[in-house]
A and B are shown apart, each in its own frame.
Chain A
Amino acid sequence: MPSSVMPMPRRSDGPQSPAAVSTVGLRKSYGDKTVLDGIDLHIPPGSVFALLGPNGAGKTTAVKILSTLITADGGQAQVAGHDVATSPDGVRAAIGVTGQFSAVDGLITGEENMLLMADLHHLSKSQGRQVAAELLERFDLTDAAKKPASTYSGGMKRRLDIAMTLVGRPRIIFLDEPTTGLDPRSRHNMWQIIRALVSDGVTVFLTTQYLEEADELADRIAVLNDGRIVAEGTADELKRLIPGGHVRLRFTDPTAYQRAACALREVTRDDEALALQIPSDGSPRELRSILDRLDSAGIEADELTMHTPDLDDVFFALTGGTDQPKEAVR
Chain B
Amino acid sequence: MSTPVAPARPARLSLALRDSSTMLRRNLLHARRYPSLTLNLLLTPIVLLLLFVYVFGDVMSAGIGGGGADRSEYIAYLVPGILLMTIGGTLVGTAVSVSMDMTEGIIARFRTMAIHRGSVLVGHVISSVVQSVISVTLVGAVGVAVGFRSTDATVWEWIAAFGLLALFALAFTWIAVGMGMVSPSAEAASNNALPLVFLPLISSAFVPVDAMPGWFQPIAQYQPFTPAIETLRGLLLGTEIGDNWWITVVWCLGLATLGYRWSKAVFNRDPK
Q: Are B112 and A92 in contact (CB under 8 A)?
A: yes
CB under 8 Å from chain B, chain A span 253-280? none
Q: Are A120 and B6 in contact (CB under 8 A)?
A: no
Stretch of B27-35, B59-67, B253-261 at the chain-chain interface: B27-35
Q: Are B22 and A119 in contact (CB under 8 A)?
A: yes
Instruction: Return the CB mask of A83-126 against B: 1 if under 8 Å, else 0.
Output: 00000010011110101011111111000100010011110000
Q: Are B6 and A93 in contact (CB under 8 A)?
A: yes
Q: Are B109 and A164 in contact (CB under 8 A)?
A: yes
Partner of A108, one of B2, B33, B114, B271: B33
Interface residues on A, range: 35 or more
A58 within 8 A of B: no
A45 within 8 A of B: yes
A208 within 8 A of B: no
Partner of B33, one of A80, A93, A107, A120: A107
Distance A94 CA – B3 CA, assembled complex (angstroms): 10
Distance A33 CA – B268 CA, assembled complex (angstroms): 23
Q: In the complex, what residues of A have CB within 8 A of residue B6's CB?
A: 93-94
Q: In the complex, what residues of A have CB within 8 A of residue B33's CB?
A: 107-108, 148
CB under 8 Å from chain B, chain A span 14-41? 17
B213 within 8 A of A: no
Of all chain A residues, which has the CB nearest B30? Answer: A107
Q: Is the interface of A mostly helix, strand, loop or mixed?
A: loop
A69-B111 contact, Cβ under 8 Å, with A108-B29, A116-B22: yes
Q: Are B2 and A105 in contact (CB under 8 A)?
A: no
CB under 8 Å from chain B, chain A span 282-306? none
CB under 8 Å from chain A, chain B span 118-175? none
B264 within 8 A of A: no
Q: In the complex, what residues of A have CB within 8 A of residue B271's CB?
A: 69-70
Instruction: Return the CB mask of A60-82 against B: 1 if under 8 Å, else 0.
Output: 00000001111100000000110
Of all chain B residues, which has the CB nearest A149? Answer: B106
Q: Are A103 and B106 in contact (CB under 8 A)?
A: yes
Q: Are B270 and A70 in contact (CB under 8 A)?
A: yes
Of all chain A residues, which has the CB nearest B2? Answer: A13
A122-B10 contact, Cβ under 8 Å, with A69-B271, A80-B3, A105-B26: yes
Q: Are A102 and B270 in contact (CB under 8 A)?
A: no
A95-B22 contact, Cβ under 8 Å, with A69-B271, A70-B271: no
Q: Give the top 6 A-B pairs by smallest Cβ distance, nearest first.
A: A103-B105, A103-B109, A92-B114, A93-B114, A70-B270, A119-B22
Q: Which residues of B contact A (CB under 8 A)?
A: 2-4, 6-7, 9-10, 18-19, 22, 25-26, 29-30, 33-34, 104-106, 108-115, 270-271
- Provide a sorted-by-A list of 29 A–B residue pairs whose CB atoms are within 8 angstroms: A13-B2, A45-B2, A45-B3, A67-B112, A68-B112, A69-B270, A70-B271, A80-B3, A92-B112, A92-B113, A93-B9, A94-B3, A99-B105, A99-B108, A103-B105, A103-B108, A103-B109, A106-B104, A107-B30, A107-B34, A108-B29, A108-B30, A116-B26, A119-B22, A119-B25, A120-B19, A121-B113, A148-B33, A171-B4
Q: Which residues of A contact B (CB under 8 A)?
A: 11, 13, 17, 45, 67-71, 80-81, 89, 92-95, 97, 99, 101-108, 112, 116, 119-122, 148, 164, 168, 171
